[in-house]
Amino acid sequence: MQRISRWTFAALLMAAAALLPRTLFAQSTLPAAGQTAPAFTLPSQDGTPISLASFHGKWVVVYFYPRDMTSGCTIEAHNFQRDLKLFEAHNAVVLGVSVDSADSHKQFCTKESLDFRLLADTSHTVTEAYGSLAEYGGVTIAARNTFLIDPKGKIAQVWTKVKPATASSDVLAALPH
């Protein structure tokens, strides 16, 4: 049996790690309940910068979704839209985040009659900070994860691998009544 140098072994190990799906790495960096939510400022569908800090004193739902105009993402967005008044009654705002552009979000909101903010994370920094960056078929997307942030800026609850059909109702059930 031939021995390889530790440098060769390290290079092989790094090459193998590069081939693993990015979601394996993203899951290890998910912020947990009780932690301060990572701060962010991102453009919304109309280009207005939206900061997490501007919602201090409110509950904030930050849901990451893969792509505008896709079936699962449309179902999830429609359900958040349907329940928007219920979230507002709980002093909560809903923010959708994907790596799509603000223009793509604008088209999606217009087509689907969405009134809440969709934020464009084209640099992937916020999606990565929330452990929600993934790759699918060689394309970088946001993994379907949702974070409930309390009025003091702490993460109250985290949902991973969210089901689009129940995401909104799951988060509503977690809000204090």
Does residue 6 contact residue 80 with C-beta atoms inside 8 Å? no
Residue 41's beta-bridge partner residues?
A: 51
Could you give the CA distance from residue 3 to residue 99 in angstroms, rounded to a whole number? 44
Q: Are strands 92-98 and 155-159 parallel, antiparallel or unpaired?
A: unpaired
DSSP state of 176: -
Let me know if 109 is a catalytic residue.
no
Q: Where are the beta strands (DSSP E) in the chain?
A: 41-43, 49-51, 59-64, 92-98, 117-120, 133-136, 139-142, 146-149, 155-159
**How many helices (H) and strands (E) are present in the chain, helices listed first?**
7, 9
Q: Which of 37, 61, 62, 73 is catalytic?
A: 73
SS3 106: helix
Active site residues: 73
